[in-house]
Structure 1
Amino acid sequence: MIETLIAPFTHAFMLEAMGVGAVVAAACALLSCFVVLKGWSLLGDAVSHAVLPGVVIASALGAPLAAGAFLAGMACALGAGFVQTHSRVKEDAALGVVFTGMFAAGLVLLAFLTTDAHVTHILFGNILGIERDDMIQALLAGGLVLLALALQGRDLLLWAFDATHAGGIGLPVRWLRLLFLALLSGAVVAGVQAVGVILVVALLITPGCIGYLLADRFGRMAGIAVASAVAANLLGIMASYHLNASPAGCIVVVLSLFFAVALVAAPSHGLLAARRKAAL
């Protein structure tokens, strides 16, 4: 039994996948706390899908995929903001229009451009077969996101809770918004190679929801979010090894199970706690 459990740790590619996945999971989990607090879950979904045309064009040009993904993600977020500002269309609808259009454009470009990018790997990730260059890009992107959050986390937190107050005390609100969009795009860049542009949405939303259910203070919320995401990465990769299943799928299934447990059993905000309060 013990030999079966430790078998994944005897392979170098498994250890590399766990290491890269942990960095990506931590970066996405911290950002997910801001996404949940701001009510920007659709933004995370939009940016993750909108990177597809950037990845396809970068691959066709022989440029780094990370650069194409980052530029496409920023274009989606800024484009949706432009539509919202200069029309009657609201933010959620603008995001829906822009990201679906960009995602569809990426699928069309795949038919016309000569590219080494495999659509399955782009959509669903290939963490167990990640190449050295892609691994470096993912670690660099995830590390830069974590560093930026460590340096600007307090300002971003105040902006997330009350942008009006943040502007009133002299914080550069527009720059903080742009920084957050850049960090979100950077996290998606890191996640593309690990779990793909579709399932990275789960890492940008679910950990923050778990932390939000289990904690009332941001610091504890962030800690729970990171712990749940990193644990789901480890357990999911191990499960994929034993079940011969998709690593990305296993990671997100484990993360979803964590959320289900938190939803039911959270001490103050879970379903059981709500029933106890109603019975009193």
Structure 2
Amino acid sequence: MTEIFYWFTEPFAYPFMQNALFTALFVAVISAILSCYLILKGWALMGDAISHSVLPGIVLAYIAGLPLTLGAFGSGLFCALGIGYLKENSRIKEDTVMGIVFSGMFALGLVLFTKVETEQHLTHILFGNLLGVSTTETLQTAVTAIIISVILLLKRRDFLLYCFDPSHSRIAGLSPRLLHYVLLMLLALTIITAMQVVGVILVVAMLISPGITAYTLSKRFDTMLIIAISVSVFTAVLGIIASYHLDAATGPCIILLQAFAFLLALGYSKLRQN
């Protein structure tokens, strides 16, 4: 029994592992809450698009001497607005617009990155560097996570109505356009926050897996939120511990556990139906 307890607690004897744990927990909570809205809205590809589009903004911010998060947010927001403009002013379907915009911006980011000498490692941007997070970055993540969580929870009914039926939200006196862009801004902020945990490539999985797992187990939104947060937090903690003992990348370990949790939920759902 003592060995099992030691197996779980040993990694967190180190300060950098403690920073990694707290950062992962904050990101896990906001990703889980937002993922429930993305699943209901059918915005899985939107998260993928914005996460890939932040790379050129990171490089340009580095060149200009600005905070990298500011460049990433601006680039992600530009992608979201560009997708909305092209969708409203052309006959191209939204998923096609997303595909061409995010792939083009991601390619631009890779070209810029190879032409600029920087201390930033491409692997850390693409796959995250959770174990390298400083105490200051952990505090920044905490503040961002709290702001995003408060907005999402306080306005959860408005966002829920918009995700289910934008026309009905307009009749109820809400502004679907405002809710649309606020949700996009929160998505961009969450992606930037989650990037340091799992990187640009895997961040979409952290934004989708908890929500789809919860949706598989329950159709009530409040229950979905509880399940999504629980799954996201549990896999984040266990993923950090597993990565320590396996000497593996932390972000991919978390995502693998979330994928496994979804398969378990799917199997349980099938058994319950039968």
TM-score by length of structure 1 reads 0.93
- Which residue number corresponds to residue 138 of structure 1? 141
Whether contact under 8 Å (1:213, 1:263) holds in the other structure is yes
- Report deviation, 1:141: 2.5
Contact 1:138 1:189 in 2 (8 A): no
Matches within 5 A, 1:211-222: 211-222=214-225
Q: Quick check: 1:134–1:193 contact (8 Å CA) kept in 2?
A: no
Q: 2:33 aligns with which of 30, 34, 37?
A: 30
1:271 is aligned to 270
CA shift at 1:273, angstroms? 2.9
Distance in 2, matches of 1:153 and 1:258, equals 25
**RMSD, aligned α-carbons:** 1.2
Alignment partner of 1:198 is 2:201: yes
Name which of 89, 95, 99 aligns with 1:96. Answer: 99
Q: Is 1:228 equivalent to 2:218 in the alignment?
A: no
- How many residue pairs get matched? 271
Cross-structure match for 1:43: 46
Q: What is the CA–CA distance in structure 1 between the aligned matches of 2:143 and 2:116, rounded to whole Å?
A: 28
Shift of 1:122: 0.5
Amino acid at match of 1:273: R
Partners of 2:240 and 2:186 in 1: CA distance = 25
The Cα of 1:139 is off from its aligned counterpart by 2.6
Q: Which deviates the most, 225-234 or 132-141?
A: 132-141
Identity %: 44
**Structure 1 unaligned blocks of 5 or more:** none
Equivalent in the alignment of 2:210: 207
Amino acid at match of 2:65: G
Please point out which of 189, 192, 196 is paired with 1:189: 192
Provide closer, same or farther for how the CA distance between residues 55 and 204 of structure 1 changes in structure 2, counting only shifts above 3 A: same
Q: 1 CA distance for matches of 2:38 and 2:6?
A: 40
Give the deviation of 1:155 after TM superposition: 0.9
Rounded to whole Å, the distance in 2 between the matches of 1:203 and 1:86 is 31
1:86 alignment partner, one of 77, 84, 89? 89
Cα distance in 1 between the residues matched to 2:136 and 2:117: 20
Q: Does 1:149 align with 2:148?
A: no
Correspondence for 1:243: 246
Task: Confirm or deny: 8 A CA contact 1:141 1:189 kept in the other structure.
Answer: no
Q: CA deviation at 1:133?
A: 4.3
Cα distance in 2 between the residues matched to 1:116 and 1:170:
50
